[in-house]
Amino acid sequence: MPIPENKTTVNPTSNPALVVIRSAKDVAAALSYQQGPQKGAFAVVILALGGIFMDAYDFSSLAFGITQIKVEFGLTGFMTGLVNAAIFIGAVIGALGGGYLVDRFGRYRLFMADMVFFVIAAIGCALSPNVETLIFFRIIMGIGVGLDLPVAMAFLAEFSRLRGRGNRTQRVNSWSPAWYAATGIGYVIVLILFLSLPAAQYDHLWRYVVGFGAVPAVVVLLVRRKYLAESPQWLANQGDLVGAVDILRTKYNAAAALAPKQEWELAVPPKASAKSFAVLFSPRYRIRTIAALCVSVFSTFGYNAVAYGTPLIISNLFHQGPLVTIISALVINFGFGVGGGLLGVALVSGWGSRKLALIGFAVQSASLLVLAFLGIPSSGLVIFAVMMLAVFIFFQAMGPGAQLMSYSTLSYPTSLRGVGVGFNQAVQRSFSIVSLIAFPILATTMGTNVFWVIAMAPLLGTLAIALIKWDPTGKDVDAEDNYEVVSA
């Protein structure tokens, strides 16, 4: 149903010099259709991406060291997978709780709190005397990740205009190159330590890499505390027009004027509650939720196997040494991951999230099938096999890996955004737990034939997104908060 035109206030598109704020819908209009420079918005984006950077670093920091951990603690294939998957167990808890909390109590408070989890968990993992302690702190780390992602996505969406340069779809997509940059930096740190430490210290390399994660987490926490403010749309949805206007002026450079109090319209969407999860499957949002889940779930199977399994694939399945493994993983993430992510940001406004997800899934399927046909590569074919892994990551970063956040973030209005992202992340991470536990076992028993199994995920993703027509690109979903009461 089309959203009726707001005739009660000054239209910011026709009069960009002044936006008169009488209601939450006027705040949404001011944010969506701001024409001038977005003062402070770039800083918000960087600080939101700082959290995503930490998420990616902590997720991938054990990828190279898992072989060392397996030897040090004498782990079985199942326990090795459990160490990898522990962070996702925490992420499921954090995403479900965080998605609700961010809509209920605001973006800013949760954004401050979640960094504490990163600091404590990074130090705890690095000092773990046994596998049980390591798993415990990996779960704590996952809770921080689960809390942070819904908040980061909400900030990226709610401090960006709907269309034009620097629009919200582009900024939400920017999480992808930030993720791969963090993963690449993790491998840079591994490479520096590998070349610097004496051989006798190699067994402890994973501890240094994981522990280093506490340093950027402290920096992000301090900078966020100084420069971030609450989302003006969230404040307006709570009835705080004064606070919303203040942030519009100081952080967004919007020429916003608060109307006299007697003209205020304080009808706001209902606060987040347990019923909010049911709303995700109400008639308005059901198809959007299913589409977002399909992109996330089918994307995560292949990504976990290829990205987190890259060191295992190159060293065990391709029979290469540690230096080749580190450099290959570094090039794949920094060169192809960041490059694909940046290309996705550039293309998404014109091509749309759905088209990029379709292309990405299709090419990923082809690359995995090539690896399955290739089997164990020999001599020059090793380079070709590693290139197939790089192609997979490039199209993951451009396609479904980036668009899974666009689908889950931009399919819902402000009142449901945190719950929507949190629920999507919880489901995605649940499937990640299964894939991370299963992949080391399957890789051990099937060898390179495991690629036949992994290829099924992007094939199913291609089929699902081809059938579901929803594309969140450029949709003014925040306006839905202002004209209908969202209820289950």
pLDDT > 50? residue 484: no
pLDDT computed for residue 1 by the predictor: 34
More confident residue, 219 or 288: 288
CA 272 – CA 344 distance, rounded (Å) = 32
Q: Which residue has the tokens 């299964």?
A: 434
CA 342 – CA 371 distance, rounded (Å) = 26
CA 217 – CA 200 distance, rounded (Å) = 29
Which amino acid is located at 186 in the chain?
Answer: G
pLDDT computed for residue 474 by the predictor: 83
Mean pLDDT: which of 135-144, 248-257, 272-281 is highest?
135-144
Of 240-244, 245-249, 260-264, minimum mean pLDDT range: 260-264
**Average pLDDT value for residue range 60-70:** 74
pLDDT tens per residue across span 191-235: 787 788 787 777 778 888 888 888 888 888 887 777 777 777 778
Q: What is the DSSP letter of 334?
A: I
pLDDT computed for residue 467 by the predictor: 95
pLDDT > 60? residue 307: yes
Confidence of residue 250 (pLDDT cuts 50, 70, 90): confident
pLDDT computed for residue 12 by the predictor: 41
pLDDT tens per residue across span 91-133: 888 887 776 777 777 777 777 777 788 889 889 999 999 999 9
pLDDT computed for residue 6 by the predictor: 38
pLDDT computed for residue 334 by the predictor: 81
pLDDT > 60? residue 330: yes
pLDDT > 60? residue 309: no
Which amino acid is located at 387 in the chain?
Answer: M
Distance of alpha carbon 277 from the chain centroid: 20
**Average pLDDT value for residue range 55-66:** 72
More confident residue, 334 or 459: 459
CA 185 – CA 201 distance, rounded (Å) = 21
Tell me the average pLDDT of the chain. 78
The residue count of the chain comes to 488
pLDDT > 60? residue 303: yes
Which amino acid is located at 225 in the chain?
Answer: R
Q: Are 155 and 111 in contact (CB under 8 A)?
A: yes
Please state, in angstroms and as integers, the Cα–Cα distance from residue 133 to each residue in 37, 268, 271, 379, 448, following that order. 49, 46, 38, 41, 33
pLDDT > 80? residue 360: yes
Helix (H, G, I), strand (E, B) or coil at 149: helix
CA 472 – CA 430 distance, rounded (Å) = 24
pLDDT tens per residue across span 147-157: 877 777 777 77
